[in-house]
Amino acid sequence: MTTLQTMLVNPDLSDATLRSWREFLVTLDVQDLGPYVGPTSAFFVMKWPTFSSAGKEDARACINYIVCDMGVKLGASLDEVVDLTSIPQLGAAQRTLATYRKAWGPPDQLEKILYRLASENVVVCMQALQELKAFMTVHQPKFTRSLASGDYFDPLIGRIVSALFAAACRDGEDADSIRTCAFECLGILGAVDPDRFELSSGEAKIVVWENFVEEAESFSFVLHLIADVLVGAFRSTSDIKYQGHLAFAIQELMRFCKFSPGLVGMPGSSSSSIPLKVRLRWDSLPKQMLGTLSPLLSSRYTLEAPPPKEANLPVYPTMKTYREWIQTWTTHLLTRTSGERANAIFNVFYPIVGDRDVGIVRHLLPHLVLHVLVSGQDDDVSNIRSELLAVLGDQIDADWHSTSDKKLLSAQVSFVVRFV
């Protein structure tokens, strides 16, 4: 998907890319086609006005193949196809979709939209937001209002609000557009009483209690990073350089887990010598991720990065933006890790920390702070304390002139760090 999204942005390559993508899709088995269904439909709908006549014909053929030819075989994967009604040329596919979805009531429609709204893929998320907006204002306004009535709201209200909050907190590519649309949807929903519904973050929580001394716990943490953090970012980005950094991190972390090509029967590899514990760790990963992970079992990404510059501590007062602060402080903390396992895990993140998307950095930082507090020197503990005090001090000191975004986002991170 990264190749498709990157190449279609270039008008000179758009037609050739669409022709190649059409040929690519028809060569896939049904189980391999499934993961491409949602992102392909979302990206085509978003980029449709920019396609040439020939490009539109190839895109139409791709959608018709997915929906009309393979729809029955795709099963639940077909649910990820976005609404096609805005494009008349895709009318045949839309009518076929309507036939498959005729049993869907408003709750089912909303469930499918919310599922796609949680996608790591930026385009899929944006299309889902636009569909949610239309659902609440055009297609099902009465149903939406009924969810937020009575002494206790329908559980779907909590899911809508949670999904919109998560979208509004996204960082990286097209984050501003996603954030704006999420706020618009929240405005449409209105000021719902938080005492009448449950709100869940839905984020996976993990704490490393033994500070990477215990092997099994270290493996669990690494599997969490791969499955809950890195694979989604790898799949969703259209930045080839960033994807390379993510691929390197996943590759190295899988090696840390002792994964090898023999796990998937790659040519020239042997599965007979793989220990049962290693095979069980591999089997614990979500099956839908194995298509992404398997090629990286034999990849040979390398890292050539200059040593990080020494930071002036505390970092916060000298940084103009939240992004600069969290990247610089995290990079400094990476230099303060200790122990063979901790170094092996955290050092793979050096290139990722400097990339535009700081979502992974925000996830990593609390674990990094906890590790340095436990394993570091007295100076490390003092420096972390000074950093957090600088962030909190900026909330009340009018002389610092920090932007409101820097104050708010940095304060949020500092509280997450304090309560990890």
Read off the pLDDT of residues 164-195 as tens digits, 9 standing for 90 and up. 998 988 876 678 899 999 999 999 999 888 88
CB 42 within 8 A of CB 121: yes
Quick one: average pLDDT of 344-358? 90
DSSP 20-82: HHHHHHHHS-HHHHHHHHHHHHHHHHHHGGGS-HHHHHHHHHHHHIIIIITHHHHGGGGGGPP
Question: By C-alpha distance, which of 152, 155, 177, 157 is closest to 167?
Answer: 177
The reported pLDDT for the residue numbered 290 is 86
Q: Indicate if 2 and 85 belong to the same structural domain.
A: yes
What type of residue sits at position 315?
V
> Which pLDDT band holds residue 420 (cuts at 50, 70, 90)?
low
DSSP 346-405: HGGGHHHHTSS--HHHHHHHHHHHHHHHHHS-HHHHHHHHHHHHHHHHHTT-TTS---HH
The reported pLDDT for the residue numbered 416 is 79
Q: Indicate if 96 and 5 belong to the same structural domain.
A: yes
> Which pLDDT band holds residue 203 (cuts at 50, 70, 90)?
low
Position 68 in a domain: yes
Quick one: average pLDDT of 238-264? 92
Position 303 in a domain: no
- Over the chain, what is the mean pLDDT? 90
Whether pLDDT at 261 is above 80: yes
CA distances from 83 to 98, 130, 131 (A): 10, 10, 7
Position 348 in a domain: yes
pLDDT in tens, 363-406: 999 999 999 999 999 999 999 999 999 999 998 887 777 888 88
The reported pLDDT for the residue numbered 202 is 57
Residues in the chain: 420
pLDDT in tens, 82-132: 999 999 999 999 999 999 999 999 999 999 999 999 888 888 999 999 999
Whether pLDDT at 208 is above 80: yes
> Which pLDDT band holds residue 268 (cuts at 50, 70, 90)?
low
Quick one: average pLDDT of 315-338? 94
Q: Indicate if 130 and 74 belong to the same structural domain.
A: no
The reported pLDDT for the residue numbered 303 is 82
DSSP 154-167: -HHHHHHHHHHHHH
Question: By C-alpha distance, which of 297, 291, 331, 319 is closest to 410?
Answer: 319
Whether pLDDT at 201 is above 90: no
The reported pLDDT for the residue numbered 238 is 74
Tokens representing 416? 């997450």
Q: Indicate if 247 and 198 belong to the same structural domain.
A: no
Q: Indicate if 235 and 197 belong to the same structural domain.
A: no
Distance CA 57, CA 59 (A): 5
Residue with the larger pLDDT of the pair 17 and 304? 17
CB 124 within 8 A of CB 113: no
> Which pLDDT band holds residue 419 (cuts at 50, 70, 90)?
low
* Cα torsion 319, 325, 327, 331: sign: positive
DSSP 390-408: HHHHHTT-TTS---HHHHH
Whether pLDDT at 157 is above 60: yes
3-state secondary structure at position 335: coil
Distance CA 127, CA 83 (A): 9
Query: Of the candidates 297, 326, 342, which is a domain's last residue?
Result: 297
- Computed on alpha carbons and rounded to an integer, the radius of gyration of the chain in Å comes to 23
> Which pLDDT band holds residue 151 (cuts at 50, 70, 90)?
confident
Position 310 in a domain: no
Position 302 in a domain: no
> Which pLDDT band holds residue 289 (cuts at 50, 70, 90)?
confident
Residue in the block written with tokens 């990963």: 285
Residue in the block written with tokens 């259209």: 238
Position 329 in a domain: yes
Number of domains within the chain: 4
The reported pLDDT for the residue numbered 355 is 81
Query: Of the candidates 203, 228, 243, which is a domain's last residue?
Result: 203
Position 240 in a domain: yes
Question: What is the DSSP secondary structure assignment for residue 90, as one 8-state letter?
Answer: G
Distance CA 72, CA 375 (A): 56
pLDDT in tens, 38-75: 999 999 999 999 999 999 999 999 999 999 999 999 99
Quick one: average pLDDT of 156-162? 93
Query: Of the candidates 75, 103, 131, which is a domain's last residue?
Result: 103
Whether pLDDT at 418 is above 70: no
What is the value of pTM for the model shown? 0.76
Q: Residue 349: which domain range?
A: 316-418
Q: What percent of the chain has pLDDT over 70?
A: 96
